Structure 1
Amino acid sequence: MLAIRLPEDIEARLEALAKRTGRTKTFYAREAIMQHLDDLEDLYLADKVAARVRAGEESTVTLDELEARLGLAD
Protein backbone atom coordinates (compact mmCIF):
# COMPACT_ATOMS: atom_id res chain seq x y z
CA MET A 1 0.00 0.00 0.00
CA LEU A 2 1.28 3.43 -0.89
CA ALA A 3 -0.18 6.78 0.04
CA ILE A 4 1.16 9.92 -1.61
CA ARG A 5 0.37 13.59 -1.37
CA LEU A 6 0.18 15.41 -4.67
CA PRO A 7 0.24 19.12 -5.34
CA GLU A 8 -3.30 20.43 -5.71
CA ASP A 9 -2.93 21.18 -9.42
CA ILE A 10 -1.71 17.65 -10.17
CA GLU A 11 -4.49 16.15 -8.04
CA ALA A 12 -7.04 18.22 -9.98
CA ARG A 13 -5.63 17.10 -13.34
CA LEU A 14 -5.67 13.49 -12.24
CA GLU A 15 -9.24 13.80 -10.97
CA ALA A 16 -10.37 15.42 -14.23
CA LEU A 17 -8.71 12.72 -16.33
CA ALA A 18 -10.30 9.99 -14.26
CA LYS A 19 -13.75 11.56 -14.63
CA ARG A 20 -13.38 12.07 -18.40
CA THR A 21 -12.27 8.50 -19.02
CA GLY A 22 -14.20 6.54 -16.42
CA ARG A 23 -11.02 5.11 -14.94
CA THR A 24 -9.79 5.58 -11.39
CA LYS A 25 -7.11 7.94 -10.19
CA THR A 26 -5.34 4.85 -8.86
CA PHE A 27 -5.25 3.38 -12.36
CA TYR A 28 -3.49 6.43 -13.78
CA ALA A 29 -1.15 6.81 -10.81
CA ARG A 30 -0.14 3.14 -11.16
CA GLU A 31 0.39 3.49 -14.91
CA ALA A 32 2.51 6.61 -14.49
CA ILE A 33 4.66 5.04 -11.77
CA MET A 34 5.22 1.82 -13.71
CA GLN A 35 6.19 3.69 -16.87
CA HIS A 36 8.49 6.10 -15.08
CA LEU A 37 10.03 3.34 -12.96
CA ASP A 38 11.16 1.54 -16.13
CA ASP A 39 12.84 4.75 -17.31
CA LEU A 40 14.50 5.34 -13.94
CA GLU A 41 15.85 1.79 -13.78
CA ASP A 42 17.32 2.18 -17.27
CA LEU A 43 18.86 5.52 -16.35
CA TYR A 44 20.51 4.25 -13.16
CA LEU A 45 21.82 1.13 -14.90
CA ALA A 46 23.32 3.27 -17.66
CA ASP A 47 24.91 5.58 -15.07
CA LYS A 48 26.54 2.61 -13.33
CA VAL A 49 27.93 1.26 -16.59
CA ALA A 50 29.19 4.72 -17.60
CA ALA A 51 30.97 5.05 -14.23
CA ARG A 52 32.65 1.67 -14.74
CA VAL A 53 33.75 2.72 -18.24
CA ARG A 54 35.17 6.01 -16.91
CA ALA A 55 36.99 4.11 -14.14
CA GLY A 56 38.51 1.73 -16.70
CA GLU A 57 36.63 -1.22 -15.23
CA GLU A 58 34.58 -1.88 -18.35
CA SER A 59 35.69 -1.88 -21.97
CA THR A 60 33.85 -0.54 -24.99
CA VAL A 61 33.94 -1.24 -28.71
CA THR A 62 33.03 0.88 -31.68
CA LEU A 63 29.95 0.10 -33.74
CA ASP A 64 32.21 -1.08 -36.58
CA GLU A 65 33.98 -3.51 -34.22
CA LEU A 66 30.69 -4.84 -32.90
CA GLU A 67 29.29 -5.35 -36.39
CA ALA A 68 32.47 -7.19 -37.38
CA ARG A 69 32.28 -9.44 -34.31
CA LEU A 70 28.66 -10.27 -35.11
CA GLY A 71 29.37 -10.87 -38.78
CA LEU A 72 27.32 -7.86 -39.85
CA ALA A 73 30.14 -5.87 -41.48
CA ASP A 74 29.95 -5.17 -45.20
Structure 2
Amino acid sequence: MQLTGQMQARLRAVAEKSGHTEQWHVEQALNQYLEDLEDAAIGDEAYQEYLRSGKKSYSMEEVRKACGLDN
Protein backbone atom coordinates (compact mmCIF):
# COMPACT_ATOMS: atom_id res chain seq x y z
CA MET A 1 0.00 0.00 0.00
CA GLN A 2 1.33 3.41 -0.95
CA LEU A 3 0.85 6.34 1.40
CA THR A 4 1.60 9.98 0.74
CA GLY A 5 4.65 11.36 2.49
CA GLN A 6 2.48 13.36 4.87
CA MET A 7 0.30 10.34 5.74
CA GLN A 8 3.36 8.17 6.26
CA ALA A 9 4.87 10.78 8.59
CA ARG A 10 1.65 11.00 10.61
CA LEU A 11 1.46 7.22 10.87
CA ARG A 12 5.08 6.98 11.96
CA ALA A 13 4.58 9.65 14.64
CA VAL A 14 1.48 7.93 16.03
CA ALA A 15 3.24 4.57 16.05
CA GLU A 16 6.22 5.99 17.92
CA LYS A 17 4.02 7.65 20.54
CA SER A 18 1.74 4.66 21.04
CA GLY A 19 4.33 1.90 21.10
CA HIS A 20 2.43 0.00 18.43
CA THR A 21 3.74 -0.67 14.95
CA GLU A 22 2.63 1.22 11.87
CA GLN A 23 1.21 -2.08 10.60
CA TRP A 24 -0.89 -2.43 13.76
CA HIS A 25 -2.37 1.05 13.31
CA VAL A 26 -3.13 0.46 9.63
CA GLU A 27 -4.85 -2.85 10.44
CA GLN A 28 -6.89 -1.26 13.25
CA ALA A 29 -8.01 1.60 11.01
CA LEU A 30 -8.82 -0.68 8.09
CA ASN A 31 -10.72 -3.09 10.32
CA GLN A 32 -12.83 -0.25 11.74
CA TYR A 33 -13.51 1.12 8.26
CA LEU A 34 -14.57 -2.27 6.92
CA GLU A 35 -16.81 -2.91 9.94
CA ASP A 36 -18.46 0.47 9.37
CA LEU A 37 -19.09 -0.37 5.72
CA GLU A 38 -20.53 -3.77 6.66
CA ASP A 39 -22.77 -2.20 9.32
CA ALA A 40 -24.00 0.40 6.82
CA ALA A 41 -24.81 -2.34 4.29
CA ILE A 42 -26.76 -4.29 6.94
CA GLY A 43 -28.65 -1.14 7.91
CA ASP A 44 -29.42 -0.32 4.29
CA GLU A 45 -30.71 -3.83 3.64
CA ALA A 46 -32.92 -3.67 6.75
CA TYR A 47 -34.32 -0.33 5.62
CA GLN A 48 -35.00 -1.64 2.11
CA GLU A 49 -36.76 -4.66 3.65
CA TYR A 50 -38.87 -2.31 5.78
CA LEU A 51 -39.82 -0.27 2.69
CA ARG A 52 -40.79 -3.44 0.80
CA SER A 53 -42.93 -4.59 3.72
CA GLY A 54 -45.30 -1.65 3.41
CA LYS A 55 -45.56 -1.42 7.20
CA LYS A 56 -46.41 1.93 8.77
CA SER A 57 -43.92 3.68 10.96
CA TYR A 58 -44.69 5.99 13.85
CA SER A 59 -42.95 9.15 14.95
CA MET A 60 -41.68 9.46 18.50
CA GLU A 61 -44.43 12.00 19.12
CA GLU A 62 -47.10 9.50 18.00
CA VAL A 63 -45.62 6.79 20.23
CA ARG A 64 -45.47 9.11 23.23
CA LYS A 65 -49.12 10.12 22.73
CA ALA A 66 -50.23 6.49 22.29
CA CYS A 67 -48.46 5.58 25.55
CA GLY A 68 -49.86 8.58 27.43
CA LEU A 69 -46.45 10.21 27.75
CA ASP A 70 -47.28 13.45 25.93
CA ASN A 71 -46.93 15.76 28.96
Structure 1 stretches of at least 4 aligned residues deviating more than 6 Å after TM superposition? none
- Structure 1 or 2, whichever has the larger Rg, is 2
For residues 61 and 19 of structure 1, do their structure 2 counterparts lie closer, same or farther at Cα, with a shift above 3 Å needed? same
Which of 22, 26, 31 is matched with 1:25 structurally? 22
Once the two structures are TM-superposed, the CA of residue 49 in structure 1 deviates from its matched residue by 1.5
Q: Which residue of 1 aligns with 2:36?
A: 39
CA RMSD of aligned residues (A): 2.4
Q: Which residue of 2 aligns with 1:14?
A: 11
Q: Which runs of 5+ in 2 are unaligned?
A: none
Aligned mates of 2:9, 2:42 — CA distance in 1:
34
Aligned residue-pair number = 63
Once the two structures are TM-superposed, the CA of residue 15 in structure 1 deviates from its matched residue by 0.8
Q: Could you say which structure has the higher helix fraction?
A: 2
Aligned mates of 1:5, 1:50 — CA distance in 2:
36
Task: Give TM-score scaled by structure 2 length.
Answer: 0.63
Q: Which residue of 1 aligns with 2:47?
A: 50
Q: Which runs of 5+ in 1 are unaligned?
A: 65-72
Identical counterparts, % of pairs: 26
